[in-house]
Amino acid sequence: MEVDLTGAASQLATRLASRRETLWLMGAAVGLTALGADGVRPQNDPRAPAAATPRARPVIHPPPPPKPTPKPRPAAWTPAKVAALETPVRELSQLSPAPPPKSIALTIDDGPNPTWTPRMLDLLAEEEVLATFFIIGEQVKEYPKLTRRIADAGHQICNHTETHPISIAGLPAKRVRKEIVDAHDRIADVTGVVPQYFRSPGGAWSKTVLELTAEHNMLPIDWAIDPRDWARPGVGRIRRSLLEGKEGDIVLCHDGGGDRSQTIKALGGAIPKLKKRGLTFVAL
């Protein structure tokens, strides 16, 4: 009996190949199952590999730029420090060095005021006039941005006390000092301008007020023309009073302390006429 060795060997090889294929398929199935399980494994599964924690970068805050040291703002006509020949100063001729001929000074008191100061600044800008603002410390504290707008427009910034006490001439020296010093420091800090001039509320001067003004290197400034605009006597009356201004006069007006619509309207009519006379407005 003959044995077909060739056929037997072929059948054996076929069975072995089939077995290897089956084992390979089973292994692949197990691998896919494990891979699927890893894909749905919850994040808090202790078997899950720990995620790498990114290293936090340190937050670097650059230091704020240094605040500029407050400095005096020179008068419009000279870089030199102005001195007073007489005190309190009521006319420009009492200053040394004096401003050029045909000069007149417009001074504005009692601001800044959120309603009237912007309108005053707009008018002065339109007329290309620089003025001298005597401002109140409490108002500066309340409206610092508006205060800086006055300074940034190039107007002179001056001290008009912290709280505007009309009775300042009769106050104790300690209280007068506080009124002057508190306003002085606040104005300098907010605007960067060290006040060089002081006006006493209501023009009330005393030996104490004058001495403390000088102690803080300020000149006491009064006025020659007072239209009493603070009393709101009417646009026409204010304008007529302003038009009495002449060379060398210091003119008093207000942008605070009440409704100043009459003042602004009167100035709008008077300033062009004064300029037509050849007068030039200067800031102290």
Q: Is beta strand 156-159 parallel, antiparallel or unpaired with respect to 132-135?
A: parallel
For residue 128, which of 284, 272, 254, 264 has the smallest C-alpha distance? 272
Return the amino acid letter for 203.
G
As a whole number of angstroms, the distance between CA 193 and CA 19 comes to 98
Cis amide prior to 112 (ω within 30 degrees): yes
Query: Helix, strand, or coil here: 220?
Result: strand
Q: Is 61 in the active site?
A: no
As a whole number of angstroms, the distance between CA 156 and CA 194 comes to 10
DSSP state of 46: T
As a whole number of angstroms, the distance between CA 211 and CA 217 comes to 10
Residue 255 structure tokens = 């942008």
Give the active site residue among 109, 229, 249, 255.
Answer: 109
Q: Is 109 in the active site?
A: yes
Using CA atoms, how far residue 125 sits from 20, 120, 201, 204, 249, in Å, is: 98, 9, 27, 31, 21
Give the active site residue among 189, 254, 255, 259.
Answer: 254
Residues designated as active site: 109, 254
